[in-house]
Structure 1
Amino acid sequence: MSRLSSRLLWLAAPVVLGTSVLAATSQKAAPKNPLALSFKTPSAVRGASLAGSCAGCHGKTGVSTKADIPSLAGQIPNYTQFQLAAFRAKLRPSNVMHQVAAKLSDQDIADLSAYYAAQAVGPAWKAEPAARARGQKLFVAGDPARNVIACAVCHGANGRGLNANHIASVTNLPPQYALAVLKEFHEAPSFGGIVPPETMRIALKPLTDRDLRDVATYISSMK
Structure 2
Amino acid sequence: MKRTARRFLWLAAPLALAAPVLAAVAQNGSPPGAPPGGNPLELKYSTPNAAHGAQLSASVCQSCHGPGGVSTNPEVPRLAGQVPGYVRFQLAAFRAKLRPSPVMQRVAASLTDQDMADLAAYFSAQAIGPAWNTTDAALRARGEALFMGGDPARGAIACAICHGASGRGEDHLGVASITNQSPTYALAVLHEYKNTPSFGGIPQPEAMRIVVKPLGEDDLRALVAYLSSMTR
TM-score of the superposed pair, with normalisation by structure 1: 0.89
Distance 1:175 1:14 in 2: 27
Match of 1:89? 96
Higher relative contact order (CA 8 A, sep 6+): 2
The answer as to whether partners of 1:14 and 1:33 remain within 8 angstroms in 2 is no
Deviation of residue 4 (structure 1)? 2.6
Residue identity over aligned pairs, in percent, reads 56
Deviation of residue 45 (structure 1)? 1.0
Residue 196 of structure 1 aligns to a residue whose secondary structure is: helix
Greater Cα offset, 210-219 or 162-171: 210-219
Match of 1:26? none
Deviation of residue 172 (structure 1)? 0.2
Matched residue type, 2:71: S
- Is the alpha carbon distance of 1:11 and 1:189 closer, same or farther for their aligned partners in structure 2, counting shifts above 3 Å? farther
- Is the alpha carbon distance of 1:129 and 1:30 closer, same or farther for their aligned partners in structure 2, counting shifts above 3 Å? farther
Deviation of residue 206 (structure 1)? 1.0
Distance 2:211 2:222 in 1: 15
Distance 1:71 1:181 in 2: 13
1:185 aligns with 2:193: yes
1:152 aligns with 2:160: yes
1:12 aligns with 2:16: yes
Aligned length in residues: 214
1:64 aligns with 2:68: no
Structure 2: gaps of 5 or more residues = 24-34
Matched residue type, 1:45: A
Matched residue type, 1:212: L
Deviation of residue 105 (structure 1)? 0.7
Distance 1:36 1:6 in 2: 19
Structure 1: gaps of 5 or more residues = 20-28
TM-score of the superposed pair, with normalisation by structure 2: 0.86
Match of 1:175 among 175, 179, 183: 183
Deviation of residue 92 (structure 1)? 1.0
Residue 148 of structure 1 aligns to a residue whose secondary structure is: coil
1:221 aligns with 2:229: yes
The answer as to whether partners of 1:30 and 1:38 remain within 8 angstroms in 2 is no
